[in-house]
């Protein structure tokens, strides 16, 4: 297996020649592979009972309110504010782990049996014309496509079929919303809900600060330009050279990309959502925040009913930043 330079057809009829594609033309093929992968991605994410690992949302809650017949309990006598922790694991990754399932190199991607046209042609070291095999297709087209697909900068041209998170159910341009169920919810204690008149206040009174939602990048609507690649029409017993139709070659590229995304060692697409994502390219972040202080509130209801409580207060502080990230592995 190796990187191959495909041959393109120049001319027409009886006056044709084969030339090596330029680097720019090979990039055009990779562009098409990314677009076709985006139409039918194999390394997919959904929202449900997740398997990408736990992340947590934290917030303060009040201590227990008290009543005393003679005076207000002091702060040392009251229960302190404490932290409520909610564990979330909502993103379901298909084929996200290193141990991706094996796909048999059979009718879906074979260059020997299933398509009307061969894979592209190339010149070997002796100058002889050869046909790309599956490994050549992966090395030449999928490897650079995969590197682009998992980059930190998300764009339709480079990231079709891959995922990111945002804080809105309205998809950004060229994205589709996967689910209206948030994959992370940042909550904080609602400081305004705790009042002296309400003592004893309910200890946990949260408010939602930010919801985070999963989105997928869509494919470009317009087909990419590609060179006229040389190949063989399999039904032609004479084995005459021809131009592989763009539609046929695009289908081959899609099948190769779907295979590579979950089964090509070192070029599988994987995602992570957590505080430690070393080796991944961060695409978006979700922030867990909570209030950073407390307040001592009191209320004398009757001459023998002195009520006190320690409640959440202060300003928002970041507890943990979670990275939504992608890589090949």
What was the pLDDT predicted at 166?
98
Strand segments, DSSP code E, in the chain are 7-12, 15-20, 45-47, 55-61, 66-68, 82-88, 91-93, 121-123, 129-131, 163-166, 175-177, 184-189, 206-217, 230-232, 241-243, 269-274, 281-302, 305-328
Residue 231 lies in a domain: yes
Q: What is the per-residue pLDDT across 83-107, written as a single tens digit (0 to 9) for each?
A: 999 999 999 998 654 444 444 444 4
What was the pLDDT predicted at 77?
96
| CA nearest neighbour of 298 among 76, 67, 82, 79 | 67
Residue 2 lies in a domain: no
Residue 255 lies in a domain: yes
- How many domains does the chain divide into? 1
What was the pLDDT predicted at 255?
86
pTM given for the model: 0.91
- Tokens standing for 82? 């404490």
Residue 315 lies in a domain: yes
Residue 1 lies in a domain: no
> Which SS3 state, helix, strand or coil, does residue 200 take?
coil
Q: What is the per-residue pLDDT across 230-280, written as a single tens digit (0 to 9) for each?
A: 998 876 756 678 899 999 899 889 989 988 998 898 999 999 999 999 999
Work out the end-to-end distance of the chain between its first and last CA atoms, rounded to an integer number of angstroms.
19
Residue 124 lies in a domain: yes
What was the pLDDT predicted at 103?
47
Q: How many CB atoms lie under 10 A from the CB of residue 256? A: 26
- Tokens standing for 300? 């004398």
| CA nearest neighbour of 206 among 225, 192, 222, 220 | 192
What was the pLDDT predicted at 307?
98
Residue 196 lies in a domain: yes
Domain residues for the domain of 73 are: 7-328
What was the pLDDT predicted at 84?
98
What was the pLDDT predicted at 109?
52
Residue 240 lies in a domain: yes
Q: Which residues of the chain have pLDDT under 70?
A: 1, 13, 95-115, 235, 237-239
What was the pLDDT predicted at 242?
86
What was the pLDDT predicted at 137?
92
Element holding 87 (H helix, E strand): strand 82-88
């Amino acid at each position: 297996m190796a990187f191959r330079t495909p041959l393109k057809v120049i001319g027409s009829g009886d006056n044709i020649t084969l030339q090596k594609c330029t680097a720019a033309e090979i990039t055009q093929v990779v562009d098409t592979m990314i677009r076709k992968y985006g139409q039918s991605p194999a390394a997919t994410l959904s929202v449900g009972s997740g398997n990408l690992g736990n992340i947590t949302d934290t917030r303060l809650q009040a201590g227990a309110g008290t009543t005393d017949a003679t005076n207000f309990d002091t702060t040392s006598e009251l229960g302190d504010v404490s932290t409520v922790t909610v564990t979330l694991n909502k993103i379901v990754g298909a084929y996200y782990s290193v141990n991706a399932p094996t796909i048999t190199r059979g009718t879906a991607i074979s260059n020997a049996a299933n398509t009307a046209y061969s894979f592209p042609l190339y010149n070997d070291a002796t100058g002889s014309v050869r046909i790309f095999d599956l490994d050549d297709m992966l090395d030449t087209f999928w490897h650079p496509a995969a590197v682009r697909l998992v980059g930190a900068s998300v764009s339709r041209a480079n990231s079709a079929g891959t995922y990111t998170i945002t804080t809105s159910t309205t998809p950004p341009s060229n994205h589709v919303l996967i689910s209206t169920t948030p994959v992370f919810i940042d909550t904080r204690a609602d400081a305004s809900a705790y009042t002296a008149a309400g003592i004893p206040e309910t200890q946990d009174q949260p408010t939602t600060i930010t919801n985070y939602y999963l989105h997928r990048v869509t494919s470009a609507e317009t087909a990419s330009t590609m060179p006229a690649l040389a190949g063989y029409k399999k039904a032609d017993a004479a084995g005459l050279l021809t131009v592989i139709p763009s539609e046929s070659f695009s289908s081959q590229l899609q099948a190769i990309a779907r295979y590579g995304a979950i089964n090509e060692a070192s070029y599988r697409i994987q995602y992570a959502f957590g505080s430690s994502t070393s080796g991944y390219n961060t695409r978006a972040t979700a922030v867990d925040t909570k209030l950073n202080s407390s307040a001592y509130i009191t209320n004398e209801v009757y001459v023998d009913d002195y009520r006190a409580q320690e409640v959440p207060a202060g300003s928002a502080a970041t507890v943990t930043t979670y990275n939504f990230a992608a890589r090949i592995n």
